[in-house]
Chain A
Amino acid sequence: MAERPFVPSAAGAVVSRPPLIRGNKTAGDVTRDITRLLESRPTALWWFAFLMAFSIFALGALAVGYQTAVGIGTWGLNRTVGWAFDITNFVFWIGIGHAGTLISAILFLLRQRWRTSVNRSAEAMTIFAVICAGIFPVIHMGRPWLAYWLFPIPNTRGPLWVNYKSPLVWDAFAIGTYFTISLVFWYVGLMPDLATVRDHVRSGLCKRLAAFFSLGWNGSYRTWHRYEVVYLLLAGLATPLVVSVHTIVSWDFATSVIPGWHTTIFPPYFVAGAIFSGLAMVLTLVIIARKTMHLEDYITQRHIEPMCKLVIATSGIVAMAYLTEFFTALYSANPYEQFAFLNRAFGPMGWAYAIMILCNVLVPQLLWSSKVRSNLAVVFVISLLINVGMWFERFIIIVTSLHRDYLPSNWTSYRPTPIEVATLAGSFGLFFTLFLLFCRFLPVIAMAEVKGVLREGHATPVESAAVPVPERVEEPALVYRQADAGAGS
């Protein structure tokens, strides 16, 4: 408090905001609401969605099996367009993952308390998206069983080490680290909740697994104290990590000499685009989860609103990058550079460019209106469109830059084969299969974190504990008992 006596002026009353969590929940309510989801039998809707997702995943798995057995010739790639659907999907999925880390780490560092309701599912999304992403470069190798060659292990070839000057090796390290740290971060966040599941779910597989994986967590404050430090440190590490991952993905392209790929703005542009697409995916998933699992009290307008605003901000950065790239191509007076961008916008794949501009630049502007932001159906549609747009962005960057390069005699086009389409669909199937399993077997809301922000927006101040405020005592389920004779009372 101010050392000098200072009374805020009459007008300076504290402006109140709507609560983060609705329905005047107590900590006990949170435990009951979330653990109940794990005890109940899956609904028909869940089964329908799961079987749907799983069968699409199975289709994708068949496609991957076929192309592994037969070879990459089953794809539509050719000598000019050497990267297309595979790398597009890879960049798309990696990008999706980034919003999870944004919400769990960056917003944690920025002390944005609204993140607590969505961070668990956003982090789960990150992990599943990275799994989907990792599949594509590996199957693109053609001989995926040699993927371990990416690691610098002593070998009988010299030892011939991996080429640390290659962005593709950087990529392997970046994705590996990202996956590991995201998983650890997620697990550390889960530990207290697993203890709650262990103690408050009646029986079943969930309870037994939680008992094993909660590592004997008992809520000791000494552990909590260190836990907070570890969580902060992990957030501090994950923040530069998430930036580095998409930066390195962008370097896969930008270190080359291909017009449209080699441009210095790529690192921040890719990172912003990744967070943009990832936030859209978080919105998609959160709106579905809110509806199907009846989490209306936990995922409120106070959560949707800031995500929509972040979508506008990242959309603006992405739009600025499109503009900068195009302008600089014209400004460069370099005919190759200019051709690459004019060909993107007005060439044979101009339709894809139009979709990209529409979905990534124009549609998100609707979110400026608070009416649109509060209409979840519209937000849902916008988030889907953004995902389409961001997929096309990567497709445009990769395919239109390649299909007409320096030599017109090399010019060709690209058309995906059914195998490639099935693989893309399969990755979505895998993603949703994993997400639906997560919803069934793990607490979808970070209970321990939500319990800490329940009072956010409610009037009772937490800090004035010097004079204890009479609190509503829980139902008298607990008996005042004395253990053994002697002291105690």
Chain B
Amino acid sequence: MSQRILFGVFASEADILGVVRAAREEDLKVLDVYSPYAVHGLDQALGLKPSRLPWVCFLVALIGAVVKLWFEYWTMVVSWPVNVGGKPWDSLPAFVPVTFEVMVLSSGLSTVFAFLLISRLWPGRRADVPHPKVTDDHFVIALEESGAAFDPGRVQRLFERFHVVAVEERLVEETRPSERSRKMSVRTLNIALVVLLVGTLGLTWWLRPDPTQLNREFMPEMVRTPRYNAFEPNPNFPDGKTLRSPVPGTIARGMLPIHYQATPEDALRAGEELKAPFALNDERAIERGAVVYANFCQACHGPTGRGDGPVALRGFPAPPPLMTDRVLKMKDGQWFHIVTYGQGKMPAYAAQLSPEDRWNVIAYGRALQRRSAPPAAGGSQ
């Protein structure tokens, strides 16, 4: 199918507006108008429908904003919440700025792309200009030479009424891409693919990566810092060692040295000097003390502290019951010394029990004493 198109060239804005209005009044089919600038009022004269591009803009803006807001929420609240400055995870006011920017970006770009797509504009496209002066200062009307209304003489008179400058007729093939041009484009694509393939293979062959070598590094980001290993000799220090030894008298964290010997005299002294770091009737201390007692003491001292544990029942010399007057009067510090260093047949528990647990078990021992003789007990301070 082919189409005959009549192009009329006009020199002024008023003429083109007039000729378009007149042609439409005479039921001529105005295919298009070509102009060097956007002529005010020509869209009404041509009877063009309002563009739907604002909808693209609005909808993409809406989608962009919602998706970005969700993404910010998801990254900051769900995927990896990071506490920055004590702000809540879901900091809506702080999400607004980026949401807005992404909304504008997505809607602006999509509107322009939609426009280019609809108007069939792309880089490198050959311009189909009806008249070279159409991008300068002339205006062109394109009429379809068909229909009952088209009468060459009348069109001629119409054009002359509006000071036509030139008239040209063109036979336009149906704008379907021809077989030849389709073949051309397929061949171009094939050539491009072959060039790409050959190029990639050639580059690989030329570079010939050596799999036994590390890849080349760009900006290694201090991954390999020059440093001495802990036990390497080190020329920078007088003693030649890398690892520094602690200053004499250094105490490890959480360590409180006790300056006592494992003697009964020191046990008495400890009774005078050492005080429990917490109140010994503390519920939690007693609770923990019960666990410690069950694990370490009950075997000899028995479940109630009467010295009737399974070990004693099988013949090992039984420890004295905790309820004896002597033990009741014993100071807490002396107990601590005994648990730490042992006494008589009882071994030292310093290696097994932390100082805190030693106090806990003393608290439990006192609780056992109270339980067996509630009214008379008064030994613990």
Please say whether the chains A and B touch (CB closer than 8 A). Answer: yes
| Given A161-B79, A462-B14, A484:B129 Cβ within 8 A | no
- Stretch from B106-114, B197-205, B263-271, B293-301 that touches the partner: B106-114
- Pick the interface stretch among B35-43, B229-237, B283-291, B356-364: B35-43
Main secondary structure of the interface of B (DSSP, over half): mixed
Which of A199, A229, A251, A465 has the most C-beta atoms of chain B within 10 angstroms of its own C-beta?
Answer: A465
Contacts of A241 in B (CB 8 A): 101, 104
Question: At the interface with chain B, which of A87-95, A121-129, A315-323, A475-483?
Answer: A475-483
* B136:A174 contact, CB within 8 angstroms: no
B80 to chain A, nearest CB (A): 5
Are A244 and B97 CB-contacts (below 8 A) given A215-B121, A470-B163, A480-B166?
yes
In angstroms, Cα B219 to Cα A61, docked, is 20
Q: Which of A28, A218, A465 contacts B130 (CB 8 A)?
A: A218
A228 to B122, CA, bound (A): 18
* B85 contact set on A, CB distance < 8 A: 165
B87 at the binding interface (Cβ < 8 Å): yes
Chain B, 39-86, CB within 8 A of any chain A CB? 39-43, 46, 48, 50-51, 53-54, 57, 71-72, 75-76, 79-80, 82, 84-85
Report if B18 contacts A (CB, 8 A).
yes
What secondary structure prevails in chain A residues at the interface with B? Answer: helix
Given known A-B contacts A244-B101, A462-B13, A468-B18, A220 and B32 have beta carbons under 8 A apart: yes
In the bound complex, how far is the Cα of B128 from the Cα of A381, in angstroms?
48
Is B345's beta carbon under 8 Å from chain A?
A: no
Tell me if B115 and A226 are in contact (CB < 8 A).
yes
* Structural contact, B119 and A471, CB atoms closer than 8 A: no
Query: In whole angstroms, how far apart are the Cα atoms of A136 and B35 in the complex?
Result: 44
Q: Which residues of B contact A203 (CB under 8 A)?
A: none
Check: B380 CB closer than 8 A to any chain A CB: no
User: Given the complex, which residues of B lie within 8 Å of A410, measured CB to CB?
Assistant: none
B118 near A: Cβ within 8 Å? yes
Q: Does A164 contact B (CB under 8 A)?
A: yes
A466, B127: Cβ atoms under 8 Å? no
> Is there contact, CB below 8 Å, between A233 and B36?
no
Contact of A199 with B135 at beta-carbon distance under 8 Å, contacts A177-B102, A221-B33, A230-B111 already known: yes
Tell me whether B6 is interfacial, beta carbon within 8 Å: yes
Q: B218: which A residues are within 8 A, CB to CB?
A: 145
Chain A residues contacting B124 (CB-CB under 8 Å) are 211-212
With A471-B12, A489-B156 as given contacts, are A448 and B36 in contact (CB-CB < 8 Å)? yes
Q: With A177-B102, A180-B109, A251-B97 given, is the CB distance from A452 to B38 under 8 Å?
A: yes
Query: Which residues does chain A contribute within 8 Å of B80, judged by CB atoms?
Result: 158-161
Which residues A150-194 have CB closer than 8 A to chain B?
152, 158-167, 169-170, 173-174, 176-177, 180-181, 184-185, 188, 191-192
A448 with B37: in contact, given A163-B82, A214-B127, A226-B119 (CB under 8 Å)?
Answer: yes
Given contacts A221-B46, A222-B48, A230-B111, contact A481 B168 (CB under 8 A): yes
Q: In the bound complex, do residue A195 and residue B79 qualify as a contact, i.e. CB atoms below 8 Å apart?
A: no
A57-92 residues with Cβ-Cβ distance < 8 A to B are none
Smallest Cβ distance from A227 to chain B, in angstroms?
7
A409 to chain B, nearest CB (A): 24
Question: Complex Cα distance A158/B81, Å?
Answer: 11
Q: A161-B79, A163-B84 given as contacts; is B123 within 8 A of A215 (CB)? A: yes
Q: Which residues from chain B sit less than 8 Å from chain A, CB to CB?
A: 4, 6, 9, 11-15, 17-18, 21, 32-43, 46, 48, 50-51, 53-54, 57, 71-72, 75-76, 79-80, 82, 84-85, 87, 91, 94-95, 97-98, 100-102, 104-105, 107-109, 111-112, 115-116, 118-130, 132-138, 140, 145, 150, 152, 156, 161-163, 165-171, 218-219, 221
A-B contact sample (12 more), CB < 8 A, given A199-B132, A224-B38, A466-B21: A160-B82, A165-B84, A174-B101, A200-B132, A215-B123, A221-B34, A225-B43, A451-B36, A470-B163, A486-B4, A486-B169, A488-B6
Q: Could you show 18 A-B contacts with beta carbons less than 8 Å apart?
A: A158-B79, A164-B75, A174-B97, A180-B105, A181-B105, A184-B108, A211-B124, A219-B34, A219-B134, A219-B140, A224-B42, A226-B118, A448-B36, A452-B39, A468-B161, A471-B14, A478-B9, A480-B165
